[in-house]
């Protein structure tokens, strides 16, 4: 049962599984920006920032355009996975966007044989393009003490003609039988209806992120709302991925589940305040690490029970921990103006031959693109 799971030991490393991608944002046939994509890039960015050791398994093609801290598996016969996000300005006068996400190219699946012949303290299944197979997740469950799963790795399907991304119910995904072995399942509020939270919470802890409202934890015996961190949203891309990275980092460093969720909310809020893969100021990261260590010691001194079981009750001082993390964020001197581009004064670039060329440039946004949920497949629950 979930409550019998042990606190991850930070002395051992984790395994992050999911492909890097090329992401291209397009409005009215004009390329607004290009960026390194894939949940694995955002997750590893957070784990590296707080010094959590991890191995990363990702596949890319010979056209991969970015330098990364965790080298991927190069597949010379396949292109790097490519997503196009098409969106148009809404007609409501408020700048709302309708988004269609398409998988244009697919590097290939991550097979069980691609995973290391090792054991890991924790695993994270964070695919975005259907690259994680049921047998690959099963292998992760075999070699990792606890596995965290982002639901988008399981329920995305792709139109055979143009690659349009849609969602299917978890029960129809081919992964449902593995749910009793999953430790934590993360989904956005838009993805939650495809999970059946009431069923899933019987087997694992379910984390539902809800943007500016923070997140909600669901487990067999209860549920809990975790407070957000106010922020100015520039680009919501990757916020859920950074949340999951922060949450796992908190657990690995000994925090109770509610405190770890606060750390997740913090990294999610810092991600939406920047464009593309966020850059976290070193001084900020050090202060966050200090606050986490202080919180861990405080919690240990307050608890007579010294076992390592995961705790779902808000420890004394939870709100103060929130305030301390908020103060650390506010004290950061990271120049947000570097991220705040004005597209109206930026020269647009037309899509050439259907597939843009990669320049490694920062992603530029006028309005948030990823706030609209991906539409479901008709007839699914």
Q: Copy the structure tokens of residue 193.
A: 């209806």
With b meaning 16 or more CB within 10 Å and e meaning fewer, what string describes 212-221?
eebbbbbbee
The stretches of the chain forming alpha helices (DSSP H) are 39-49, 134-143, 152-155, 197-200, 239-252, 257-272, 282-302, 318-331
**Residue 162: how many other CB atoms lie within 10 Å:** 11
Tell me if residue 241 is catalytic. yes
Task: Quote the Cα angle for 108-109-112, to 5°.
Answer: 145
Q: How far, in Å, CA of 33 to CA of 237, rounded?
A: 13
**Token pair 């050791």: residue:** 53
Structure letter (DSSP) for residue 83: E
3-state helix, strand, coil in the chain (%, to 5): 30, 25, 45
Closest CA to 49 of 269, 288, 214, 210: 288
Q: How far, in Å, CA of 23 to CA of 1, rounded?
A: 39
Distances (CA, A) of 106 to 21, 61, 173, 346, 380: 9, 9, 19, 30, 24
Q: Copy the structure tokens of residue 272.
A: 């939406």
**Which residues pair with residue 44 across a beta bridge?**
none
Q: Copy the structure tokens of residue 151.
A: 């639901």
Q: Which of 23, 150, 235, 241 is flagged as catalytic?
A: 241
Q: Copy the structure tokens of residue 355.
A: 């597939």
Cβ atoms of 226 and 215 closer than 8 Å: yes
Q: Is 171 helix (H, G, I), strand (E, B) or coil?
A: helix
Q: Copy the structure tokens of residue 357.
A: 């060329």
**Token pair 């930070």: residue:** 10
Cβ atoms of 377 and 156 closer than 8 Å: no
Q: Which residues does the annotation mark as catalytic? A: 241
């Amino acid at each position: 049962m979930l409550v019998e799971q042990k606190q991850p030991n930070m002395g051992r490393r984790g395994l992050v599984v999911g492909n890097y991608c090329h992401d291209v944002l397009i409005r009215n046939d004009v390329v607004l920006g290009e960026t390194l994509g894939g949940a694995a890039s955002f997750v590893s960015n957070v784990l590296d920032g707080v010094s959590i050791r991890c191995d990363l398994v990702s596949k890319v093609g010979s056209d991969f355009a970015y330098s990364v801290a965790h080298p991927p598996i190069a597949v010379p016969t396949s292109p790097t996975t490519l997503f196009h996000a098409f969106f148009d300005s809404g007609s409501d006068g408020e700048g709302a966007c309708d988004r269609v996400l398409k998988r244009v190219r697919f590097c290939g699946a991550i097979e069980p044989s691609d995973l290391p012949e090792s054991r890991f303290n924790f695993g994270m299944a964070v695919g975005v393009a259907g690259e994680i197979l049921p047998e690959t997740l099963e292998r992760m469950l075999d070699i990792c003490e606890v596995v965290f799963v982002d639901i988008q790795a399981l329920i995305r399907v792709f139109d055979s003609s143009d690659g349009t991304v849609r969602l299917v119910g978890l029960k129809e995904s081919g992964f449902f039988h593995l749910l009793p072995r999953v430790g934590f399942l993360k989904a956005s509020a838009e993805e939650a209806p495809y999970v059946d939270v009431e069923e899933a919470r019987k087997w694992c802890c379910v984390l539902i992120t809800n943007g500016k409202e923070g997140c909600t934890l669901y487990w067999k015996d209860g549920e809990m709302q975790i407070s957000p961190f106010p922020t100015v949203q520039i680009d919501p891309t990757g916020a859920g991925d950074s949340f999951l990275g922060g949450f796992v980092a908190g657990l690995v460093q000994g925090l109770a589940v509610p405190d770890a969720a606060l750390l997740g909310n913090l990294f999610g809020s810092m991600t939406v305040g920047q464009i593309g893969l966020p850059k976290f100021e070193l001084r900020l990261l050090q202060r966050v690490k200090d606050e986490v260590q202080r919180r861990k010691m405080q919690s240990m001194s307050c608890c007579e029970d010294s076992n390592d079981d995961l705790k779902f009750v808000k420890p004394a001082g939870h709100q103060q921990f929130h305030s301390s993390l908020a103060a650390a964020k506010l004290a950061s001197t990271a120049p947000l103006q570097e991220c705040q581009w004005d597209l109206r004064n930026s020269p647009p670039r037309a899509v050439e031959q259907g597939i843009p060329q990669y320049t490694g440039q920062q992603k530029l946004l006028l309005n948030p693109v990823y706030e609209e949920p991906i539409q479901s497949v008709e007839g699914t629950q």
